[in-house]
Amino acid sequence: MLELPKDLVLDLPRLVVIGQRELYLENHKGIIEYGDCCIKINLSRGLLEIEGEGLEIKLIMPDEVTITGLIKSLRFVE
């Protein structure tokens, strides 16, 4: 029986973090705040705060975003 991924079924974000230098996020609901030291992204349940240095949005599409820079912290806020 074919099972769908839980992130799709439950409308949850999927994150891929490569070291402290890159974050790939699927299933976002839009950018709330954008600066070189803080990016806030709306999720289906709350938001994701990314803090660091030299943060840049390298790619943004309706359901995915790629952020580069020195990522110091990720925090989920409900």
How far apart (Å, rounded) are the C-alpha atoms in residues 39 and 23?
12
Q: At 7, is the pLDDT very low, low, confident or very high (cuts 50, 70, 90)?
A: low
The domain limits of the chain are 6-77
Residue type, 43: L
What is the rounded average pLDDT of the residues 28-53?
97
How far apart (Å, rounded) are the C-alpha atoms in residues 72 and 39?
12
What is the rounded average pLDDT of the residues 20-41?
97
Fold held by 6-77:
Immunoglobulin-like (2.60.40)
Q: Which residue has the higher pLDDT, 1 or 78?
A: 78
Res 4: pLDDT: 72
For residue 1, pLDDT over 80 is answered with no
Instruction: Give the global pTM.
Output: 0.88
